[in-house]
Amino acid sequence: MGEATTGTFSQDPAPSSLGTMIQRVSNYVLAPYDGDVALIATEAVNESILNLNIRNWSWSRRSENIDLVADTQEYALPVNFKAVRTMEILDASTPPAVSGKLDYLDPKLFDEVYFDRGSPGSPSVFTVFSEFENGMLTLSCPASADFVLIHPTLRLRYYSRLPILSATSDTIPAPSDVENYVVWYARASVAAHWVPAKVAFAEARAEKAWRNLLLADVRKEVSGW
């Protein structure tokens, strides 16, 4: 049976925009219309996102289909790629059905086992040598035309990175629990500049929100997702 991964989902509560989060942070230091506060708040929001990107969260799981091309061995990774989970082989049905999988190998072991990997055939494993060098994944061999005819697509399941926010309409593609941590972290950072007496309270709330995220992630019970 074919398996579809497309669909729609409306989070409740809906994610707040960057502009709304900045307003909440600015209100905490009683400076709702201060441009300098908004600038520091934006920097703090994005710093908290960098903190979140250190971990592979259960809610950061994504998938992307990769169309195979005969005699091609390397394929571009998704722009928000962080770490590999699995790779499925899909058949030509509509919607496509999973007909197998490609195992992931550590780059060093991959190089040792598949040092001669230029001849087209049926790929069985893949690796990512360095996403920051060229943003590509590498198959154990280029897929042959016959292989592509039967298995035209791969489905990469991976952990994603949260994007840095810039436009006031930008939102965080994560559960509402994450937004709670982000806002309290930013409040603590902004308060350090304008209202130092409010730093300790905001830091305590941010630390509690972070602990709750970790606990919920371990239990896989994140609310708002």
Angle in degrees, CA 61, 64, 69, rounded to 5: 150
pLDDT digits 0-9 by tens, 161-205: 999 999 999 999 999 899 999 999 999 999 999 999 999 999 999
Outline where 118-175 has alpha helix (H).
145-150
Q: How many helices (H) and strands (E) does the chain have?
A: 6, 7
HSE of 23, CA atoms in CB hemisphere, 13 A: 7
For residue 169, which phi and psi values (nearest 5 degrees)?
-90, -5
pLDDT digits 0-9 by tens, 47-61: 999 999 999 999 999
Residue 225 has pLDDT above 70, yes or no: no
What's the length of the chain? 225
pLDDT digits 0-9 by tens, 72-95: 999 999 999 999 999 999 999 988
Euclidean distance between CA atoms 129 and 106, whole angstroms: 8
